[in-house]
Chains A and B, each alone.
Chain A
Amino acid sequence: MITDFLAKLGNTGLYVLTDLGRMTLFLLQALMGIFRRPFRFRELLRQLRFIGVGSLAVIFFTAISTGMVLGLQGYYSLNKFGAEGMLGSAVSLTLIMELGPVLTALMVAGRAGSAMCAELGIMRISEQIDALDCMAVDPFRYLISPKFMATIISIPLLTALFDVIGIAGGYVAGVGLMDVSPGSYIDGMKTSVTNHDIWLGTVKSCFFALLVVWISCGRGYFVQQIRGAGFGAESVSRVTTQAVVLSSISVLVFDYLLTAVLL
């Protein structure tokens, strides 16, 4: 009984280590693929369009609603201390340092990460990736590295957009609905947000972008080697779910770790 348990534990440990190892090698190959020639500029543009431009509507609605909720909640809390004038500061700092990078990464993981994972998973089970290997075409340079580059470019830009739209949403809720003075909202934001805060938000968004694209593409690429994924179409659907869940949890965990280290 105990030996069975220990054997299973050992097996799981070995599987986790193997999986981490192949995912690390995958990350290195994908990053190196960015610098290999010939460069696939057209594919990069296609991915930027899909990951970046395609996520604009999702980001807009998430940002405006988040900003407005922050404006209302912030007003409610600050009003208790007679500090409504700090609303601009509270909304902008929360968005720039925390919610902007985190929510943007989560939205992109749900929308584009799942699609990238499913695409690579289907390509793997239908032997399209093997076909690339057999034609001596590097699948990293051809397929994966453009996705990495596009995600790493898109998420920080989408985060910046999220911040601006969110702050505007906070302004509408705070100034338009709750009668906070427009001057104090803008001044509060200007005086409290420093370059370090913007830098922190940017570093986070770049890191989250790497996490999302790494996990999404890696899960799809290794769809046949993932324990419990099953076979065929079912394996792709399971692994896609796993990729979104893993990306989201990783973003939240690393958000705390990065804040603790960089703040």
Chain B
Amino acid sequence: MTTAAIEFKNVHKSFSRKDGTVQRVLDGVDFAIPTGKTTVIAGGSGQGKSVTLKIILRLMSVDSGEVFVHGREIGGLRGRSLEMLRTQFGVLFQGSALFDSLTVFENVALPLRERTKKSEDEIYEQVNNSLAQFELEGHEAKYPAQLSGGMKKRVGLARAMQLHPSIMLFDEPTTGLDPVMTREIYHLFADTQAEFGFTSVIVSHDIPKVFNLADQVIILNRGVMDVFDSPEEIQWSEKPHVQEFVEMTMGKIYQSQLEEK
């Protein structure tokens, strides 16, 4: 049996509101993300999708329960062990999170300069190869403020790929992009995953487009997660909130698939 890349066991997470009440974001959540596959975590705004990503990255701790990455429980990791955990991940943030004061080249080179002992020549070669792969040649000296949304995503993806992560996390990767750029970015994800074979976790509310990439879909609703082995399986669920979700989104999915063809 293969170990799941990421596994949640009975995870609870809640936040206190200003009025003193408690908002349960994850309420005893169990799921496993298979190695080498693409899992989409979908759900409405404020349902805890980004919180789930932050828990996986240990940027946030859980109230109770266990989270495993490649079979290792991450709750107690500190210092160097935590650093080692994080080097297994590549993350593409919603707003790309590029460093404003660094050029495109410096942004992509940052993880290599900070996390490896490579020489400047080796870094120069690797970064330039990446920039060529992500069609960013000629933009090396530009600053993030001079780039379009799609280019920022490509720079973010190039930076995330530098340390050859085994798991890629995408947080709302196409927010703010037009449909053409969205399609291009998803093709880029698919091509990159086919080349490097990493596990993908995509958090998105851009459901119709994302479902084309998904091997597994997790729907997050009011702190509870429903796991489906394929996007098609969602249609046959009898749970009311899933049916509601299907009604809201499935029409769009078929429309999106037609557009693709």
DSSP majority for the A interface?
Answer: helix
Contact B93 A135 (CB under 8 A): no
Q: How far is the CB of B26 from chain A (nearest CB, A)?
A: 19
Contact B95 A127 (CB under 8 A): yes
Residue of chain A at shortest CB distance from B93: A127
Convert B48-82 into 0s and 1s, putting 1 for each residue whose CB lies closer than 8 angstroms to a CB of A: 00000010010100000000000000000000001
Contact A126 B97 (CB under 8 A): yes
Contact B93 A130 (CB under 8 A): yes
CB-contact partner of B99 in A128, A130, A133, under 8 A = A128
CB-contact partner of B114 in A122, A128, A133, A142, under 8 A = A142
Convert A114-136 into 0s and 1s, putting 1 for each residue whose CB lies closer than 8 angstroms to a CB of B: 00000000110011101101111
- The answer to the question of B135 belonging to the interface, with a C-beta cut-off of 8 Å to chain A, is no
Contact A136 B87 (CB under 8 A): yes
Contact A127 B57 (CB under 8 A): no
Contact A127 B97 (CB under 8 A): yes
Q: How far is the CB of A24 from chain B (nearest CB, A)?
A: 18
Contact A134 B89 (CB under 8 A): yes
Q: How far is the CB of A161 from chain B (nearest CB, A)?
A: 28
Known A134-B86, A137-B114; judge A127-B99 contact (CB<8 A): no
Residue of chain A at shortest CB distance from B58: A133
Chain B 94-128 interface residues, beta-carbon cutoff 8 Å to A: 94-95, 97-100, 110-111, 114-115
Residue of chain B at shortest CB distance from A46: B101
Contact B114 A135 (CB under 8 A): yes
Residue of chain A at shortest CB distance from B111: A135
Contact B86 A131 (CB under 8 A): no
**How far is B80's CA from A193's CA once the two chains are assembled, in angstroms?**
51
- The answer to the question of A252 belonging to the interface, with a C-beta cut-off of 8 Å to chain B, is no
Known A127-B93, A127-B97; judge A135-B115 contact (CB<8 A): yes
Give chain B's interface residues, CB within 8 Å of chain A: 20, 54, 57, 59, 82-84, 86-87, 89, 91, 93-95, 97-100, 110-111, 114-115, 163
CB-contact partner of B115 in A123, A127, A131, A137, under 8 A = A137
- The answer to the question of A7 belonging to the interface, with a C-beta cut-off of 8 Å to chain B, is yes
Contact A130 B115 (CB under 8 A): no
What is the total of A-B residue contacts with beta carbons within 8 Å? 49
| B86 partner residues in chain A, CB cutoff 8 A | 133-136
**How far is B20's CA from A123's CA once the two chains are assembled, in angstroms?**
29
Best-surrounded residue of A11, A133, A136, A137 (most CB of chain B within 10 A): A136
Contact B83 A136 (CB under 8 A): yes
Q: List 29 A-B contacts (CB under 8 A).
A: A7-B20, A11-B20, A122-B100, A123-B99, A126-B95, A126-B97, A127-B94, A127-B97, A130-B54, A130-B59, A131-B93, A131-B97, A131-B99, A133-B59, A134-B57, A134-B86, A134-B91, A135-B86, A135-B87, A135-B114, A135-B115, A135-B163, A136-B83, A136-B84, A136-B86, A136-B87, A136-B115, A137-B110, A137-B115
| B114 partner residues in chain A, CB cutoff 8 A | 135, 137, 142
**How far is B82's CA from A209's CA once the two chains are assembled, in angstroms?**
32
Give chain A's interface residues, CB within 8 Å of chain B: 7, 11, 122-123, 126-128, 130-131, 133-137, 142
| B59 partner residues in chain A, CB cutoff 8 A | 130, 133-134
Residue of chain A at shortest CB distance from B80: A136
Contact B111 A130 (CB under 8 A): no
Residue of chain B at shortest CB distance from A8: B20
**How far is B91's CA from A11's CA once the two chains are assembled, in angstroms?**
36
Known A7-B20, A130-B59; judge A135-B110 contact (CB<8 A): yes
**How far is B169's CA from A133's CA once the two chains are assembled, in angstroms?**
14
**How far is B100's CA from A122's CA once the two chains are assembled, in angstroms?**
10
**How far is B102's CA from A137's CA once the two chains are assembled, in angstroms?**
16
Extra pairs beyond A133-B57, A136-B87 (8, CB < 8 Å) = A127-B94, A131-B93, A131-B99, A134-B57, A134-B89, A135-B115, A136-B82, A136-B83
